Structure 1
Amino acid sequence: MIATHKALNRIAAVALAAVISACASNDEKEDTDPVELMEISESVQLREVWSQGIGDIDALRYAMLKPGIIDGKVIAANSDGDVFAFDRTSGKRQWKVDIDQSISGGVGVGLGIAVVADYRGRIVALNLNDGSQRWTTQLSGEVVATPAVGSGMVVVQTVDGKLLGLDATTGEQRWRHNTVLPVLTLRGTASPVISAGMVFAGLDNGKLIALNAADGLTRWEQRVAIPQGTAELDRVVDVDGTPLVRGELVFAASYQGRAVALSRDDGRGLWARDASTNHGVTVGAGQVFLSGADGTVHAYNVGNGQVQWTNSELLRRQLSGPAYFGDVVVVGDLDGYLHALDPSTGRIVGRTRIDRDPVRIPLLADGDLLFALSDDGELVALRLER
């Protein structure tokens, strides 16, 4: 979804989509249909361990309410304001609270708290043990990304281009970093990441930035994508996926831009490859995996970025970002399917359906379990079997 920061971004995005759709010929419409799924020979199975219905996720406003996992708990939220804690292994509910506002961003976990945000820019921190409210802070802008928790801070990215560092104990604002936004951007913002005392955040202007977590001072800034063309649509290069930190490297990818591997400490580029996605990447088996905006799935060599394979069997199926789970790569799609791909060949080796609504929210691999949340609010834990 595209948004303009001049005025009425959501209405403009809907109108733009309607115009594009109305202008398409019959032949063009055939090319925009999701491909039908072909039968596969399954060598792995994603078996449901438990599931819980938590309530709807607001897909119209592109809420990406990724659950958080910590201390044997799965913390999940719906768009109506409910936050839940479930036992990671059994799925048994441990607590539920209602923050009395529509939740737009979350769930960030760490330092004994779970953090969510609402559409009015209110940040709420809850006690991980019982869901009681620890603090609340009002920000100036809407938040649709998951807050990052770590290094004594809660870091939040707003849709109006601000990165804010809040004290994790009190919620008091400690620092702010401002970014000048392009005229036109994708709806949504990247979730920041805290690692080794640094904050890494993808920006709507196609850059990745690293800040000191304690004071917000800039450590480095690197361009992931360079806007191309004269039309504003052609120049949209948002980094909307969460950056991925692995050891001394940080990985990121942009819409209509590139996938990159950078040095964590100074932002020096290791490699870059043309790519277009509104998700983050995942790493496993010596490779970087990416689900493209067109429904392709790609694997790159983690050391030099060389393309290992590309799978085009899921074109236009509105894939989620990939998760490396066990020894397969898993993506969700618009019809509630999860597809397991062989990381060596890209061949689809397993498939299961958890819902009839889309699975857009990033998948979470945690040890022997994979967690998926559909737009209909079906939270499912799965195990890989052969």
Structure 2
Amino acid sequence: MRAACRLLAGALALALVACSSGPDRPKPKPFEAIAAPIAGKQVWSQRIGSIDFPLAVAVREGVFTVAGSDGTVAAFQADTGREVWRASVDGRIVAGVGSDGRFAAVVTREGELVVLDGGKLLWRKPVGTKVVTAPLVAGERIFVLGVDRRVIAWDALDGRKLWQQQRPGEPLTLAQGGVLAAFKNTLLVGQGPRLAGLDPLNGSVRWEVPVASPRGTNEVERLADLVAPLLRQGDSVCVRAFQSAVGCVNAERGNLQWSKNVGGTEGIAGNEQVVVGADASDRITAWRTASGDVAWSSESLLYRNLGAPQVAGPTAVFVDGEGTVHWLSLDKGEPLLRLTTDGSAPAAAPMVSGTTLLVATRNGGLYAFRPE
């Protein structure tokens, strides 16, 4: 199982080290020839320092905000790559970055939530729980999700703790970015295999929907935590449950629209037509957003250690374990464009601002591409 090395055992957060990248893993499938290529190029690059945590790239008002493990947080203009600001939080980062365009928030290895205002240190507070999911910044509040399922809200301006909510958790959780997102006036939180809608003012539960039914003979096999990134499309929120399912929830009504049993460890992307994601063998599938029916599947990138995807216009974009960026047609899954980065795996799902797509790599490279 590809992500077994990302497991955490209870409150002790003991990392397991079994991964599936050993000698028994099949060799990657050779690249297919691109029959009908599209044009595209790298338009700028920057560096942030190595990234060894589950990074979330924040995109607001034409600016990408990123963070490196050494404590660097920086913002760049999406169209030109110009550095808007760069700061250090004086500590190694283990979760981040969340931003609403003004405030940026990360969590350090020492367990502190650090908030910046326009690149200037505003405040820092102890979290009190281990965190791997990027904080959410919304409505002048900072929300943090702990690996113990605890959700904590702070006032963004002065760091006052507003509320804390904790639900019963399973013995094992993932050291992988979980679901923490905003939907209208509801806070969306992944609670194991369930998607919960909370009141952001006080943390009370408005609704809760199971996306997957965990199966297996032991705690590892029954892990089905919801993983980021998710897809928000109208009133629908679509998400992957680790190694178990992909499903969509009506977040306005709080009911399950559909769920399909399918393996896979990375988040999904999509639009109003399809939801796309790769399974543990890197077989890519597109499900129809409205019904969950399979629209197409592709084995062109088998065993290439694909990260979470992004949808950009009429294409689905995946980055493989060697940093190669692949554009596939969204209607059929055919390869359209292939460009390279620095040879290291993706640190986050690609992010889009306007016509610019940003790829962040484990080696700390930031590569902006623009298909034509």
CA contact (8 A) 1:364 1:370 kept: yes
1:247 maps to which residue? 234
Q: What is the identity percentage for the equivalent residue pairs of Structure 1 and Structure 2?
A: 26
State whether structure 2 residue 68 is matched by structure 1 residue 78: yes
SS of residue in 1 equivalent to 2:229: coil
Root-mean-square deviation (CA), in Å?
A: 1.9
Q: CA deviation at 1:102?
A: 0.6
Q: Deviations over 1:207-248 (max 9, x none)?
A: 111101111110111111112122222211121223332221
CA contact (8 A) 1:253 1:275 kept: no
Report the Cα distance in structure 2 between the residues aligned to 1:178 and 1:242, rounded to whole angstroms: 22
Alignment gaps of 5+ in structure 2: none
1:275 maps to which residue? 262
State whether structure 2 residue 161 is matched by structure 1 residue 173: yes
Q: CA deviation at 1:355?
A: 1.6
CA contact (8 A) 2:11 2:148 kept: no
2:59 maps to which residue? 69
CA contact (8 A) 1:241 1:278 kept: no
State whether structure 2 residue 137 is matched by structure 1 residue 149: yes
State whether structure 2 residue 338 is matched by structure 1 residue 351: yes
Whichever residue aligns with residue 36 of structure 1, its letter is: P
Whichever residue aligns with residue 10 of structure 2, its letter is: H
Whichever residue aligns with residue 127 of structure 1, its letter is: D
1:4 maps to which residue? 9
In the alignment of these two chains, the number of paired residues is 367
Report the Cα distance in structure 1 between the residues aligned to 2:85 and 2:140, rounded to whole angstroms: 25
Higher helix proportion: 1
2:211 to 213, 224, 232: 224
Q: CA deviation at 1:39?
A: 3.4
Report the Cα distance in structure 2 between the residues aligned to 1:210 and 1:155, rounded to whole angstroms: 14
1:185 maps to which residue? 173
Q: CA deviation at 1:349?
A: 1.4
SS of residue in 2 equivalent to 1:331: strand
State whether structure 2 residue 328 is matched by structure 1 residue 341: yes
Q: CA deviation at 1:325?
A: 0.6
SS of residue in 2 equivalent to 1:140: coil
Q: Deviations over 1:116-140 (max 9, x none)?
A: 1112321111112xx1111212111
Q: Compared with structure 1, are the counterparts of its residues 149 and 68 closer, same or farther at alpha carbon in structure 2 (3 Å cutoff)? A: same
SS of residue in 2 equivalent to 1:240: strand
1:310 maps to which residue? 297
1:196 maps to which residue? 184
Q: CA deviation at 1:42?
A: 4.9
Q: Compared with structure 1, are the counterparts of its residues 225 and 132 closer, same or farther at alpha carbon in structure 2 (3 Å cutoff)? A: same
Report the Cα distance in structure 1 between the residues aligned to 2:11 and 2:62, rounded to whole angstroms: 44
SS of residue in 2 equivalent to 1:169: coil
Q: CA deviation at 1:191?
A: 3.9
CA contact (8 A) 1:137 1:172 kept: no
CA contact (8 A) 1:290 1:321 kept: yes
Whichever residue aligns with residue 357 of structure 2, its letter is: L
TM-score (norm 1): 0.90
Q: Compared with structure 1, are the counterparts of its residues 356 and 348 closer, same or farther at alpha carbon in structure 2 (3 Å cutoff)? A: same
Report the Cα distance in structure 2 between the residues aligned to 1:304 and 1:222, rounded to whole angstroms: 17
1:43 to 34, 37, 42: 37
Q: CA deviation at 1:287?
A: 1.0
Report the Cα distance in structure 2 between the residues aligned to 1:360 and 1:350, rounded to whole angstroms: 21
CA contact (8 A) 1:290 1:298 kept: yes
CA contact (8 A) 1:337 1:359 kept: no
Report the Cα distance in structure 2 between the residues aligned to 1:42 and 1:356, rounded to whole angstroms: 25
Report the Cα distance in structure 2 between the residues aligned to 1:92 and 1:301, rounded to whole angstroms: 38
